[in-house]
Structure 1
Amino acid sequence: MRILTLSGSLRARSTNGALLHAAGSLATAEGTAVTTADIGGLPHFNPDLDGEGAVPPAPVAALRKSVAEADAVLIVSPEYAHGVPGVLKNALDWLVSSGEFIDRRVAVITASPNPAGGDYANTQLRETLRMMTGTVIDEACLMVGTVGARLDRDTGEITDPDLTTQLKAALKALTAP
C-alpha cells in the first residue's frame, strides 16, 4: 500500500504538518509506504497552461504522477476563514480534469485550534473530492479540535493518546482492502 500525503499548510511549524507527519509515521510503522507531495511550488491554476495538446508545467506533472502512483491519498489541512486553504484548493484544481483521483481512496483530516476541528473545510474538501470522483473513506476522515493542546509545540509529537488511537483507526480504514 502506498499513501500520498498532501498538507494544506505551508508553515514550517504547522500543527497540521505535525499531524500529517505523525500519521505518516504511524502508517510507515504498519508497513505502508508514505510520500508527501510538495504543493507549494505549483503555479496558480490556469486551464490555458494545460489545454488539449499542451504539456502541463513540471510541478503539475509531478503532482499528477504522485497521485497516479498512490493507492490512497491522505489530506491534512487547516481551515482558513471557514474554508479550504488556497494552496490546497489550487492543487486540487490542477487534478480535477486529469483523472488521477478517479476511484482513488482518500481521507481528509482537518485540524484547528477551534474545538470544531475545521468542520467547514472538512465538509468542503470531502465534497470537492467526491466531485473529482475520489472514493472518500468516511471512516478515515477526522476533525481534530483544539489541536495545539494535543501536540507538543516544540517537537510536534502527539501528546494525546486518544488522538493516536483515532489516527490509527483512520489509517486502518484508509488502507483496508
Structure 2
Amino acid sequence: MADTRVCAIAGSLRTGSYNKALLRAAQELAPPGVRIAIWDGLRSIPPFDQDEQVRGDPAPVVALKAAIAEADVLLIATPEYNYGIPGVLKNAFDWASRPAGKSVLNGKPAAIVGATVGLWGTVRAQLALRQSFLFTESPVLLKPEVLVARAQDKFDASLRLTDETTRAMLRQLLVALPAFVARFR
C-alpha cells in the first residue's frame, strides 16, 4: 500500500504554540507509511476577498492549495479562541474552499486535534471546524479524539510532548489514518 501523505496545519501563529508542537509530536509518533508534512504558511495568507479571488489566488493561497492537493488527508491542530477556531485558520479555510464544489478541500478526508491551556481541550473549536468541513463534504475522522487540555502540563520547556497518555492518543489517531483515508479513495 502507498504511504499516507498528511498535510498538517496548525491554526496558531504563536512561536510557542502548543498546536505547532502537537504537529511536531505527530511527525515523531507517525507509524511507518504515514508521512506528515507541516505547512506553516498561515501568516502569509491575506484576508479572504472574493474580488481578489476573481483576479486569481495570491501566491500564498496557491501554495496552501498545492500542499492540500498533494496530501491524502489533512491534519488540523487548532487552539480554541472564544469557543471557536482562530480567525487565521478560518480565513485559510475560506480561501482553500474556493471555488465552491470544486476546491482542493472538496471530499478531502481530515482529522482534527487541538491543545489549549484551558480545561476543555478545544472541544468547541473542533466542533466549529467540523461544521466548516460539512460545506466541503470532507469526511472527518471521529475517533480517536485528541483534545489536549492543560497543555502547559503536557509539554516540556522545549515544547516536546511528554505526557504519555496524550502521546498514546495521538499515536492511535495516526495509526487510524491509513484505513480512514482508504475508505474514500
- Normalising by structure 2, we get a TM-score of 0.88
Compared with structure 1, are the counterparts of its residues 70 and 140 closer, same or farther at alpha carbon in structure 2 (3 Å cutoff)?
A: farther
**% of aligned pairs identical?**
34
Query: What amino acid does structure 2 have at the position aligned with 1:9?
Result: S
1:79 aligns to what SS in structure 2? coil
- Tell me the residue number matched to 1:13: 16
User: Could you tell me how far apart the structure 1 residues matched to 2:127 and 2:56 are?
Assistant: 33
Match for 2:152 among 145, 148, 152? 148
- Output the amino acid matched with 2:37: T
Given that 2:26 and 2:170 are in contact with CA atoms closer than 8 Å, whether structure 1 keeps it comes out as yes
**Distance of 1:141 and 1:58 partners within structure 2:** 34
Letter in 1 for 2:72: D
Do residues 87 (structure 1) and 88 (structure 2) align?
yes
Task: Provide the C-alpha distance between the structure 2 equivalents of 1:170 and 1:59, rounded to a whole number of angstroms.
Answer: 29
Q: 2:73 matched to 1:69? A: no
Quote the Cα distance in structure 1 between the aligned partners of 2:144 and 2:52: 34
C-alpha distance in 1 between matches for 2:145 and 2:62: 27
Match of 2:128 in 1: 124
Tell me by how many angstroms 1:141 deviates.
3.8
- 2:146–2:166 contact (8 Å) kept in structure 1: no
Q: Which runs of 5+ in 1 are unaligned?
A: none
Cα root mean square deviation, aligned: 1.3
Distance, in Å, in 1 between the alignment partners of 2:171 and 2:155 is: 16
Aligned-pair distance for 1:142?
Answer: 2.0
Aligned partners of 1:108, 1:9: CA distance in 2, in Å? 14
Inter-partner Cα distance in structure 2 for 1:41 and 1:175: 30
Taking structure 1 as the reference length, the TM-score comes to 0.92
| Aligned-partner SS, 2:43 | coil
Q: Which runs of 4+ in 1 moved over 3 A?
A: none
Alignment of structure 1 residues 1-177 onto 2, 5 Å: 1-27=4-30, 29-37=31-39, 38-51=41-54, 54-98=55-99, 99-152=103-156, 154-176=157-179, 177=182
Structure 2 stretches of 5 or more lacking a match? none
C-alpha displacement of 1:174: 2.1
**Residues 50, 85 of structure 1: alpha-carbon distance in 2 compared, 3 angstrom cutoff:** same
